[in-house]
Amino acid sequence: MSSALIIFICIIIVLGLLFLGSPIFICLGIAGITGIFLNSGIAGLSVLQTTVFGAVARFPLAAVPLFMLMGEIIFRSGIGEDLFHVLGRVLRRLPGGLAMATVIACAVFGAMCGVSIAAVASIGVIALPEMLKRGYDPRLAAGAVCAPGALAMLIPPSLLFILYGEVAHVSVAKLFTAGILPGILLALLMCGYIFIMEIKSNRSSGTRKDIGEPVTLKELAGFLKRLWAPFLLIIVVLGSIYLGIATPTESAAIGCVGAYAIAFIIYRRMDWTAFRETLIRSARITCIILVVFVGAVVFTQFLNLLRVPDLFARFIVSLDVSPLVTMILIQLMLIALGMFVDGASMVLITTPILLPTIMVMNWDPIWFGVLMITNINIAVITPPVGLNLYTLASITEDVDMATILRGTLPYVIVEFTGLLILIAFPQISLWLPGMMR
């Protein structure tokens, strides 16, 4: 049987199982096993047991459950509520100040937990009703929760960077560092969009939404008293990675201990029942991620056996277009794929295929990793698989799904603009990693 026919059969299997609603790991696993069997018979399948075990037994993957646990602890501690109230109080006199506070709160919360839907749920349940009460357009308010919640995947610690680093064999520590400035850039672009829209809205209505007394030094001191510990946790976790004191896995363990200390001692919102739930939920999510990882490993083995990544790289090189156009075409392809596949699956599926192309085009894999995760930021706010959209819809009855979709669309354009800036100026992503020890 020809390689082209085998590839065609496996693609049909993946698409057919996805259409039937099968989990992504089943789609990838069955298609990969079928492809290997059709190409190499039973003998080809015998190598999978060692390949799969070797893939999931890597030490850096231990950071996945630890960062998941850290995110669960922070999600249940109530830090998000305090964070929003502090920023809202400080920024409320600016046009769109409360919405900008939501963006910054989601970004900072993402730096604490690294989980997109946790940021949306923690900040959105407080921020959305408050913005609507103060007269914000429901569409702008909904978008100001959904879109910046996705920054949790780009601003370290990021689970997707861990997965990309393992598949692409790139330093996770450098990927974490590379995501800092792009995450800040996207947050600033979102704040800029809100500022412009609110100035236009205030001019047309003749009123200001965020009028209030300026924050006093006494109030600011009280805010800092509540939030010094979470910010110290961010500095310790990321600083230990940046300075080369600890690996991402070791810093994740430190972060878990620190998060439990904050939740138990400072915020006092963690009891033994919640403690047990954080362990169970983080274990479940970790199992889901690793099972998808196993399916992707099997599918990747099939792709490598038929030299699909090399063929794709040759096809890209044969195109008579500039490297910039090639990169934009790849990003558009990833955006289209991200509308139907979740972020973790997209990283695990596409990275092995695109890696030879990255090397042939002499692109920095760290830069490309930042672009890919930025791309996935767009994916989680676009239907039909936009998890952030459904998360916000599930925690509020103040806005319907149609309003959420209309409100999030401008932020998709804002994030795509940010993606183009990161493509045009690679040093935004590469400057900090270049300064690491």
In tens, the pLDDT along 167-193 reads: 898 988 899 999 999 999 999 999 999
Closest C-alpha to 177, from 147, 160, 206, 154: 154
Same domain, residue pair 306 and 430: yes
Question: How far, in Å, CA of 117 to CA of 91, rounded?
Answer: 24
Same domain, residue pair 35 and 109: no
Same domain, residue pair 319 and 370: yes
Same domain, residue pair 42 and 73: no
Same domain, residue pair 87 and 191: yes
Can you give the pTM of this predicted structure?
0.84
pLDDT of residue 199: 86
Full domain range(s) for residue 274: 61-434
Q: For residue 319, what pLDDT band results from cuts at 50, 70 and 90? A: confident
With pLDDT > 70 as the criterion, what percentage of the chain qualifies? 97
Q: Cβ(318)–Cβ(47) under 8 Å?
A: no
Cis omega (within 30 of 0) for bond into 248? no
Same domain, residue pair 35 and 97: no
Task: Kindly tell me if the per-residue pLDDT of 426 is higher than 90.
Answer: yes
The position carrying tokens 């965020």 is 210
Same domain, residue pair 164 and 126: yes
Q: Cβ(13)–Cβ(313) under 8 Å?
A: no
The position carrying tokens 């362990």 is 279
Does a structural domain hold residue 394? yes
| Average confidence score pLDDT of the chain | 84
pLDDT of residue 266: 82
Same domain, residue pair 29 and 113: no
Same domain, residue pair 148 and 36: no
Structure tokens at 391: 């998360």
Structure tokens at 233: 């946790």
Closest C-alpha to 210, from 108, 130, 106, 129: 130
Q: Cβ(292)–Cβ(348) under 8 Å?
A: yes
pLDDT, tens digit, 9 for 90 and up, residues 132-168: 888 888 899 899 988 888 888 888 888 889 889 988 9
Task: Kindly tell me if the per-residue pLDDT of 32 is higher than 60.
Answer: yes
Our CA dihedral for 265, 268, 273, 274, rounded to 10 degrees, sits at -90
Same domain, residue pair 393 and 288: yes
Question: How far, in Å, CA of 31 to CA of 274, rounded?
Answer: 40
Task: Kindly tell me if the per-residue pLDDT of 210 is higher than 80.
Answer: no
Same domain, residue pair 34 and 75: no
Does a structural domain hold residue 232? yes
Amino acid at 383: P
Does a structural domain hold residue 149? yes
Asked which of 10-24, 48-62, 133-147, 263-277 is least confident by mean pLDDT, the reply is: 48-62
Could you count the other beta carbons within 10 Å of the beta carbon of residue 260?
17
Q: Cβ(419)–Cβ(375) under 8 Å?
A: yes
Task: Kindly tell me if the per-residue pLDDT of 20 is higher than 80.
Answer: yes
Angle, to 10 degrees, between the axis of helix 387-395 and the axis of helix 116-133? Answer: 50
pLDDT of residue 424: 93
Same domain, residue pair 296 and 390: yes
Q: Cβ(170)–Cβ(365) under 8 Å?
A: yes
Name, in order, each residue with C-beta under 8 angstroms of 400's C-beta and a sequence gap of 6 or more.
393
- Residues of 311-338 as b/e, b for ≥16 C-beta within 10 angstroms? bbbeebeeeeeeeeebbeebbeebbebb
User: DSSP string of 132-153?
Assistant: HHTT--HHHHHHHHHHHHGGGG
Question: How far, in Å, CA of 109 to CA of 115, rounded?
Answer: 9
Does a structural domain hold residue 118? yes
Does a structural domain hold residue 269? yes
Does a structural domain hold residue 302? yes
Does a structural domain hold residue 53? no
Does a structural domain hold residue 52? no
Could you count the other beta carbons within 10 Å of the beta carbon of residue 101?
29
Higher pLDDT, 171 or 71: 171
Structure tokens at 357: 């192309």
Question: How far, in Å, CA of 345 to CA of 333, rounded?
Answer: 15
Question: How far, in Å, CA of 294 to CA of 214, rounded?
Answer: 54
| Structural domain total, the chain | 2
Q: For residue 419, what pLDDT band results from cuts at 50, 70 and 90? A: very high
With pLDDT > 90 as the criterion, what percentage of the chain qualifies? 18
Asked which of 44-53, 243-252, 284-293 is least confident by mean pLDDT, the reply is: 44-53
Structure tokens at 62: 């231990």
∠16-39-345 over CA atoms, to 5°? 45
The position carrying tokens 């970004």 is 107
